[in-house]
Amino acid sequence: MASKAVFVLAALVLNAYGASAVDPLVSVNITAPDGSAKASIMPFGATTTNFWVKDKDGNFRDIILGFDNHSLYQSQADGHPYFGPVVGRYANRIRNGTFTIPISKDASGPGKKFQIVENENNGTDTLHGGLVGYDQRPWNLDAHTANSVTFTLVDPNGDQGFPGTVVTTITYTLEAKATWKISMVAFADELTPIMLSCHHYWNLEAYQETQDLVGHFAQFEASKYVGTNGLLIPTGELLSVEGTPLDFRTAKSIGDAIPGTAEGQFCGTGSSNTAAALDLTTAGSTTTPPSRSPSFSMWSVNSGIKLEVTTDQVALQVYSCNGVDSPTLPIPRKVDQGGPEQVYTDHSCVVIEQESYIDGINNPEFPIRPQIFGPLRPYTWDSTYVFSIL
């Protein structure tokens, strides 16, 4: 009953004091104790707006995409790219916006069926929690120190169609040697699906040397990827990466791998964005706790910046920004990334999402524990990002 007690306490505290008296669009700053990294994070969406680390010449670069004008995170005047927030209550896609508890194949079983707000593909599936996901809500600023900040969000019962009230807390901490730790925990007062992730867009060059990903290399142990249909909805299959452009078990250029994904339609069909790499991959063990060794490594041979990610999650989605550029809604880059004259273009950045298998609530054949959480089973998510120089 400890989880239930913590949930009740968190809800009572937030109800008593309400949201913190801060502008949700104003970032707070944190700095590593040794000055090796700096970040700016705002309450709206618990969104990371800026992240600075040193390049091979010792100069700081802001390597996270975003908006200089923070109102654009809220207004979506330049589209909805999910720049830097927490995504939830359920990250990624839900087939038909439906699921059952207990879970069943494509919500066809005898459990209680739920209909979630559908906000993608002409209203045929749910993406990142619905029309108003966690990225579009002001979080409560709970604590802020020189190198750490904590936010909390209360997601009420029935919002976007999800059952139960969920209280989520996230803590961002910068430690020495450019180490960034992110920890999330969520408590629900009844059974409900929860899958969270951070949705950071990275360009390790801050667009200074190139405008593509040819100079970005990656390596990660993932022998399988999640098979999907033309709308990127999982079929329930785990397919081998052997012989495909998605095989990054040996380091290679991300940009060079992108053209090879078009023929295999790894990013969906019927779209002008088929020539994108790594949209869906899996990493880590599915039967035992994931290894704490780096799950994902990426580096730029131009800036010399290297990123290693360690996580407790069993899956990894890598999105190569195949839908960032829109002729009707060009997104201006931040000033310190060459904007506003220059815009963010397709295949010029990488999103790394650590999470469970997407749409696992509709695919019970996946070799993972059910993605249903409640009073006796809290949800946890932990990742560590270590930046270094080649």
**What does the pLDDT read at residue 49?**
98
Question: What is the number of other CB atoms lying within 10 angstroms of the CB of residue 79?
Answer: 16
Domain count, the chain: 1
Map residue 353 onto helix, strand or coil. Answer: strand
End-to-end, the C-alpha distance of the chain in Å comes to 48
Instruction: Give the tens place of pLDDT for each residue, 337-349.
Output: 999 999 999 999 9
In total, the chain counts a number of residues equal to 390
CATH code, domain carrying 30: 2.70.98.10
| pLDDT band, very low/low/confident/very high, at 19 (cuts 50, 70, 90) | low
Catalytic residue among 199, 200, 216, 347: 199
- Identified catalytic residue from 118, 205, 308, 353: 353
pTM above 0.75, yes or no: yes
SS3 17: helix
Category of 181 on φ-ψ map: left (φ > 0), alpha (ψ -120 to 50) or beta: beta
Structural tokens at position 219? 């390596």
Other residues' Cβ atoms within 10 Å of the Cβ of residue 154: 17
Query: Catalytic residue at 199?
Result: yes
User: Residue 139's domain spans which residues?
Assistant: 2-389
Query: CA 83 to CA 388: how far, in whole Å?
Result: 23
Give the tens place of pLDDT for each residue, 182-230.
999 999 999 999 999 999 999 999 999 999 999 999 998 888 888 888 8
User: What contacts 24+ positions apart, CB below 8 Å, involve 104-111?
Assistant: 104/362, 104/364, 105/236, 105/362, 105/363, 105/364, 105/365, 106/362, 106/363, 107/362
279-330: pLDDT as tens digits? 334 443 333 444 456 688 999 999 999 999 998 888 888 888 888 888 888 8
